[in-house]
């Protein structure tokens, strides 16, 4: 009975979220990763609301750690995505961000209200040279497939908070990440769409109810690693990749 319950739990954790859509990218040709973002509300304690920078505080300074972590995550993602989607060719990031057309199509249209930026993508952080793209912006997605001369686009968005494990095991706080993956093909539409929820295997000590932010990068890297592992598991289950 215990064995059956354990296997059922493992099967549940490996299942994609409700409303998911998956497809193999093996025979789809080159894939361009055109949007990779971290929600600005990340890194807070579970149940708390991110306050953001105050009116007298520099956003650049406030989000410096977020950007440092995003840079590490982006490096990790680029290094591993090829082994996750086996047999799939990915366009080099330099080729994408050096495209004037890419920059023109994805240029954010933000306005400042009471000292804060508002608009689509104002709550997102992107790696240097990249911009946020909404998965609902079909015209932009179609234009990008033509501009970059690729059949498939990939968009990634992450949000993470830290807190105790779901199963309440001791050992400190973990980082809980919602990892959204979206792939689009012109003429077909959505190929892949899912929100994968994972926890970091790494933990951080809690002192007087708080986790020091020096641990956040390590926890975030561990959380994204688990997200990529789960993506690979789903591809193997559905397409034997």
For the stretch 193-225, pLDDT in tens is 999 999 999 999 999 888 999 999 999 999 999
Beta carbons of 119 and 110 less than 8 angstroms apart: yes
DSSP string, 181-227: EEEEETTTEEEEEEEEEEE-S--B--BTTB--GGGHHHHHHHHHHHH
58-84 average pLDDT score:
96
pLDDT value at residue 170: 66
The predicted structure's pLDDT at residue 102 = 98
pLDDT of residue 19: 58
Higher pLDDT, 221 or 11: 221
Residue 114 reports pLDDT greater than 90: no
Q: What is the pLDDT of residue 115?
A: 64
pLDDT for 8 beyond 50? no
Query: Is 84 a residue whose pLDDT tops 70?
Result: yes
Token pair listed for 62: 């406030």
pLDDT the model gives residue 14? 44
- CA of 215: how far to CAs of 81, 149, 176, in Å? 24, 41, 14
Per-residue pLDDT band for 4 (boundaries 50, 70, 90) equals very low
């Amino acid at each position: 009975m215990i064995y059956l319950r354990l296997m059922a739990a493992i099967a549940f954790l490996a299942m994609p979220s409700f409303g998911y859509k998956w497809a193999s990218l093996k025979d789809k040709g080159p894939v361009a990763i055109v949007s990779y973002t971290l929600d600005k509300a990340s890194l807070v304690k579970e149940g708390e609301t991110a306050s953001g920078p105050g009116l007298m505080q520099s956003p650049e300074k406030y989000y410096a750690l977020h950007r440092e972590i995003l840079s590490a995550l982006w490096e990790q993602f680029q290094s591993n995505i090829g082994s996750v989607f086996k047999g799939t060719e990915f366009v080099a990031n330099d080729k994408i961000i050096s495209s004037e057309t890419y920059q023109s199509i994805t240029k954010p249209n933000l306005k400042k209200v009471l000292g804060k930026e508002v608009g689509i993508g104002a709550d997102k952080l992107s790696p240097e040279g990249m911009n946020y793209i909404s998965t609902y912006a079909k015209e932009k997605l179609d234009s990008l497939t033509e501009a970059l001369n690729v059949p498939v686009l990939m968009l990634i968005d992450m949000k993470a908070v830290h807190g105790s494990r779901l199963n309440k095991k001791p050992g400190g706080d973990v980082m809980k990440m919602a990892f959204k993956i979206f792939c689009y093909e012109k003429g077909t539409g959505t190929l892949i769409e899912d929100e994968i929820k994972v926890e970091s295997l790494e933990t951080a000590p809690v002192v007087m109810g708080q986790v020091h932010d020096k641990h956040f990068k390590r926890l975030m890297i561990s959380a994204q690693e688990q997200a990529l592992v789960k993506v690979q598991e789903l591809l193997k289950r559905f397409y034997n990749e």
